[in-house]
Structure 1
Amino acid sequence: MSRPTGPVAGVDTHADTHTLAVVTAQGAVEFTEQFTADRRGNVALLRRLAEVEALDRVGVEGTSSYGAELTRTLLAAGLTVLEVLRPTRQVRRMDGKSDPVDAIAAARQVLTGDGTSTPKHTDSPVEALRYLLTARRNLVRAASRMITAIKSLLVTAPDPVRAPLRGLTDRTLIARLAACRPGSDMADPATAAKHTLRLLARDYQRLHAEADGLEDRMAELVTSINPALLEVFGSGTITSAQLLVTAGGNPDRIATEAQFAHLCGAAPIPASSGKTRRFRLNRGGDRQANAALHRIALVRMNHDPRTRVYVERRTNENRSKKEILRCLKRAIAREIHHVLLDPDIAAPVDLRALRIQKGITLTRAAEALQTRTARLSDIEARRRPLPDLTNRYQQWLTAA
């Protein structure tokens, strides 16, 4: 983006107030002003900007947090909005720290173009997907805490309570506890233990049921937004949703695959000096997106023949598993970027709709393919990467 030729604005956003600063193309401060962080304040800020002649662009700090609604307001008004970084420690030491100072720093950052980026669009279906993804992540975390508490209580529970539950899988354990009848004598430790364990087990079941319901809705959203992402080997509903949220509703803002890899923390950082040429691990970027790439890489290492050949070759070159994983994540980021920019690159077949259209039951299909109905159900919902069985299933349905 070319250097601004007219005045630019910077906004320091907070929960209750937004501070606006306008500077000339030469960096001189024209004015600073504070507005409330609500609809009325956003409209007043927009009117104040309309009074600035030949305003070039606006830099907003926190476009996906405190400045989300302001960013939507500015974009709807047709203004060019850039996301700016918070002032560095060096700037804060030299210029101090206050809302007007930060707003001026944001405006001058727009002038230099350093550290600016196109903000995500937060009025698209991807934003709805972000809410569902956040809710599911917290539900799963809460369920994990429940099972941890259950097992911790079982360690100290009376033997008549603990003995019948030894050696059970987590699913069977939860089902057994949720269905138990503890009795009414709460002064008895065994009864109190059963009562507590039943409450925790039922909460665990409820949390998992809600998380599964959210996953089904997320699968529908991902399919409507970018179905090709679900066809990437190793990318399930949750992984695809996270990558879509990271890219935002306007993935074209990420011009190159190198930028996307850097956004995901999958690009090595140069750490060279003098005659020394080296790179260091990137510990920045979106760590949730980095974890999504990591999961895809692990799935491919276990199930993709091409990836297993690559891993074997790199292992023979004395590369460690961590180094191989980093290389795989970088290559996967390149593939994901292409799919994000071209959703029609590989339109997937809706196997469930095709099966229902032909009047075929899951049981009949499973018997024909000599597999279990649960696996075909996972394939239709895109819950598990089973490429060989998926191809056989699709060919069978097409020919049926």
Structure 2
Amino acid sequence: MDQQWVFGGVDSHADTIHVAVVTDNGGHLADAEFPTTTAGYTAALAFLGAHGDVVAIGVEGTASYGTGFTRAARAARLTVVEVNRPDRAERRRSGKSDPIDAYAAARAALSGRASSAPKDETVTGIRALHNAARSTVKARTAAINQIGHILVSAPDAIRDRYRGLRGKTLIDTLARQRLHGDTVHTAVLTALKSLARRVQTLTAEHDELTAALDGVASAHNPGLRAAYGIGPDTAAQLLITAGGNPDRLRTEASFAALCGVAPVPASSGKTTRHRLSRGGDRAANAALYRIALVRMASDARTREYVARQSAAGRTKKEIIRLLKRAIAREVFRYLTTTVTVPDIADLRPLRRSKNITLTTVAEHFGVWPAVISCVERGTRRDDDLAGAYRDWLTAA
């Protein structure tokens, strides 16, 4: 008897996965539960293979609880597709249980409704560093806000002492203060000192994570990281968005829609118009927004473009929307093609060997010393300036 074709479905959880098998015409064959261990994944794959030739497996949560099974299935050269959670209307109609969800995932793989490739694991490290760095920022902001709230209601002597201090100066002063005064003063100062030291610790941790994130993102896609206005955080977010949605990188337009910067048709009758997209990956949209703001502030070409659009009567919001769309087009190029970044590692040693200061270089080229430093360290890409700088150093 010929081997039949079957489709698998997986409902994943922290400790278990529920696997279901259906025939190529949707008939239920069997389902079973397995632990989320290496042995469990091996048993689950054997369970699927025992019922026929597995065409595809629909997995709910390929980037979370289903990551381990997805990795094992792909290592076994099986096709895995991402399955979205059933909508609420369908769940109200058919109920909710692990077998029901597993069979629904299998039917989604069979019908073609689930056809997206699993999340790309090449950005797993970037995602982990990015999440850790963001959490330090949130925790630091919370601590700074707590300091402000305590100072508002603190005794007058404490308020007057720290009223004129702001930012890092306030944090450093609070962290090194000596406790004194009565019980109330001592309690308030202890809380402020503890929070200030927490801010210092979180700041150092964030700097360390950002440096690690910069190195990983630069190694993963040097062209993207070297583009003007794209820092470690924005580069990481765009790489995470692209790695989590490889099927959306087929065309530049689909990537723009993924980032929520593609205008959406909103025409009706004799009215022809477009509206701003409110969908897509909002984190990627925010990253494009930050890049646009940086370029509007310091990039000569972008400033000229903004001036032209303003003269044409467009508002700042409309100009930013156009910039985000153009930046998405540029980012798509970096994500889908290999961009060679000129080597700048020789610039700083060459300058130092000739005992030339950053200030001297900056004065010669008419820029700030920080610009030259960024070019030397590779945190700011300016191929024309780097080339002219190298020629000038060689001739000096």
- TM-score, structure 2 normalization: 0.87
- Aligned match of 2:82: 83
Aligned pair count? 387
- Report the Cα distance in structure 1 between the residues aligned to 2:353 and 2:322, rounded to whole angstroms: 43
Give 3-state SS (helix, strand or coil) of 1:346's partner.
coil
- Aligned match of 1:323: 318
> 1:9: how far off?
1.3
- Aligned match of 2:27: 28
1:147 correspondence with 2:144 = yes
- Aligned match of 1:219: 214
> 1:11: how far off?
1.1
- Aligned match of 1:290: 285
Work out whether residues 129 and 218 of structure 1, in 8 Å CA contact, stay in contact via their aligned partners in 2. yes
- Report the Cα distance in structure 1 between the residues aligned to 2:268 and 2:57, rounded to whole angstroms: 36
Per the alignment, do residues 362 and 90 of structure 1 end up closer, same or farther by CA in structure 2, a change over 3 Å counting?
A: farther
After superposition, where does 1:111-150 map in structure 2 within 5 Å? Answer: 111-122=110-121, 124=122, 126-150=123-147
> 1:360: how far off?
4.5
- Aligned match of 2:93: 94
Give 3-state SS (helix, strand or coil) of 1:267's partner.
coil
RMSD of aligned C-alpha atoms?
2.9
What percent identity do the matched residue pairs reach? 45
- Aligned match of 2:70: 71
Which deviations, in whole Å up to 9, do the C-alpha atoms of 1:100-123 show, x marking residues without a partner? 22222212222232353111232x
Letter in 1 for 2:9: G
Give 3-state SS (helix, strand or coil) of 1:66's partner.
coil
Work out whether residues 8 and 55 of structure 1, in 8 Å CA contact, stay in contact via their aligned partners in 2. yes
Stretch deviating more after TM superposition (294-303 or 199-208): 294-303
Per the alignment, do residues 57 and 332 of structure 1 end up closer, same or farther by CA in structure 2, a change over 3 Å counting?
A: same
- Aligned match of 2:388: 395
Letter in 2 for 1:304: D
Stretch deviating more after TM superposition (133-142 or 144-153): 144-153
Give 3-state SS (helix, strand or coil) of 2:357's partner.
helix
Q: Which runs of 5+ in 2 are unaligned?
A: none
2:203 to 195, 208, 223: 208
- TM-score, structure 1 normalization: 0.86
Letter in 1 for 2:170: L
Letter in 1 for 2:243: G
> 1:349: how far off?
2.9
- Aligned match of 1:346: 340
1:231 to 226, 230, 238: 226
> 1:391: how far off?
5.0
- Report the Cα distance in structure 1 between the residues aligned to 2:248 and 2:356, rounded to whole angstroms: 46
- Report the Cα distance in structure 2 between the residues aligned to 1:280 and 1:104, rounded to whole angstroms: 39
- Aligned match of 2:256: 261
- Report the Cα distance in structure 2 between the residues aligned to 1:189 and 1:377, rounded to whole angstroms: 49
Work out whether residues 60 and 84 of structure 2, in 8 Å CA contact, stay in contact via their aligned partners in 1. yes
- Aligned match of 1:106: 105
- Report the Cα distance in structure 2 between the residues aligned to 1:106 and 1:252, rounded to whole angstroms: 19
- Report the Cα distance in structure 1 between the residues aligned to 2:269 and 2:36, rounded to whole angstroms: 49
- Report the Cα distance in structure 2 between the residues aligned to 1:151 and 1:375, rounded to whole angstroms: 35
Work out whether residues 248 and 254 of structure 2, in 8 Å CA contact, stay in contact via their aligned partners in 1. no
Letter in 1 for 2:134: R
Per the alignment, do residues 82 and 28 of structure 1 end up closer, same or farther by CA in structure 2, a change over 3 Å counting?
A: same
Stretch deviating more after TM superposition (62-71 or 243-252): 243-252
> 1:203: how far off?
0.9
Stretch deviating more after TM superposition (313-322 or 174-183): 313-322
Per the alignment, do residues 178 and 380 of structure 1 end up closer, same or farther by CA in structure 2, a change over 3 Å counting?
A: farther
Per the alignment, do residues 34 and 246 of structure 1 end up closer, same or farther by CA in structure 2, a change over 3 Å counting?
A: same
- Report the Cα distance in structure 1 between the residues aligned to 2:58 and 2:267, rounded to whole angstroms: 32
Q: Which runs of 5+ in 1 are unaligned?
A: none
- Report the Cα distance in structure 2 between the residues aligned to 1:282 and 1:70, rounded to whole angstroms: 35
> 1:254: how far off?
2.4
Give 3-state SS (helix, strand or coil) of 1:333's partner.
helix
Per the alignment, do residues 261 and 195 of structure 1 end up closer, same or farther by CA in structure 2, a change over 3 Å counting?
A: same
- Aligned match of 1:161: 158
